[in-house]
Amino acid sequence: MPSIPLSDRFSHAGQRFSRFAKDYSAYLFVRMLVAIVQTLPLDMGDRMCRGIAWLAARVFKIRRSATHENLSRVFADAEPAQRDELELAMWHHLMLMVCEIAWAQRRLHLTNWTDHMSFRNHRKMLAVLLTKRPVVMVSGHFGNFEVGGYMFGMMGCESTTIARRLDNPFLHRWVERFRSAKGQYMVDKDGCAAEVQEHLESCGTLAILADQHGGPKGCWVNFLGVPASCHKALALFSLSTNAPMIAGYTIRIDRRPMQFESGTVDVADPFNDPQSHCASVSSLTQWYNRQLATAVSGAVEQYWWLHRRWRQPPEKIAKRLARKTEISRAA
């Protein structure tokens, strides 16, 4: 084997050290901010989030193009000023969500959870979770899904969650520790299909955010009245293992920090499917998108409108979805 020149070795070592220093500095900065946030009273944290949200939306205009494009698609009849106010409210929600994640481990416990969390329509969920069957739980980039997962684990319901690995290894391990603190097991989304399938076949619970863009070859359905591509794997996980699919959410209520409602919109069960929601990948994908849309309509400011959920579908698919929409309206 040819030896690597000494100069190249020093260059590679310098690059690795530079990357290490950059990542670790970012990690220390984030941890310092979190430590400060954890000491803040809830009302002071809320006021701080409103200020940061105004800067993000009005001054720095972060992700404004994507946000306005999404809002214009979904709320085509709304006035520009109304969409601007919704954008500002979304940023306030996102900033407050970060604070709530920082507060959760210190302020949310088994002894006081009733002060922070209420449940809606959870008999359906419990009826499924208490059976010895695999379960697929779907939600979206909506509400405070991180606190929802944390609370779910604190109640003793262990689950596996698919998530993208963060580029910063120090931040990744820290976020993973928070998510796994109460029984959530994290798997990297790249190449996880076999592991997830095995988990479900062992009667495990899979919790996943179901509003990721599935690409041009995904399963195209209408979400909030606009064509969106979905990963087919979500429906396949449920159908291939006969796992009931639960559509749920965790939202902030009463416009108060650390006050949540965790709800079940509905359940689709392959063993009890009179309306044929589980007849195919397409029908189940359309079903859970309808449930997520129902949840979002109750608190539109808590959806991630900066998330690139909607893309332009291929021409044939766009025509097919348009025909379906016309037929639905006519009916």
- Across 145-171, b (16+ Cβ under 10 Å) vs e yields bbbbbbbbbbeebebbbbbeeeebebb
Q: What is the pLDDT of residues 37-50, one digit of tens each?
A: 999 999 999 999 99
Q: Are 96 and 252 in contact (CB under 8 A)?
A: yes
87, two tokens: 């954008």
Ranges of the chain with pLDDT below 70: 1-12, 328-331
Q: What is the pLDDT of residues 14-31, one digit of tens each?
A: 788 788 899 999 999 989
What's the pLDDT score for residue 1? 47
Q: Which residue, 138, 114, 153, 99, is CA-closest to 260?
A: 114
What's the pLDDT score for residue 198? 93
Q: Which residue, 311, 303, 292, 159, is CA-closest to 229?
A: 311
pTM: 0.91
C-alpha span between 104 and 11 (Å, rounded):
43
| CA angle, 33 then 151 then 195, to 5° | 95
Q: Is 87 helix (H, G, I), strand (E, B) or coil?
A: helix
What's the pLDDT score for residue 330? 67
DSSP assignment of 113-172, as one string? Answer: GGGTEEEES-HHHHHHHTSSS-EEEEE-SBS-HHHHHHHHHHTT--EEEEEPPPSSHHHH
DSSP assignment of 16-63, as one string? Answer: HHHHHHHHHHHHHHHHHHHHHHHHS-HHHHHHHHHHHHHIIIIIS-TT
Q: Are 240 and 280 in contact (CB under 8 A)?
A: no
48, two tokens: 């701080």
Q: What is the pLDDT of residues 144-168, one digit of tens each?
A: 999 999 998 888 888 998 888 888 8
Number of Cα atoms under 13 Å in the Cβ half of residue 267: 20
Q: How high does pLDDT run on average in the chain?
A: 91
What's the pLDDT score for residue 4? 59
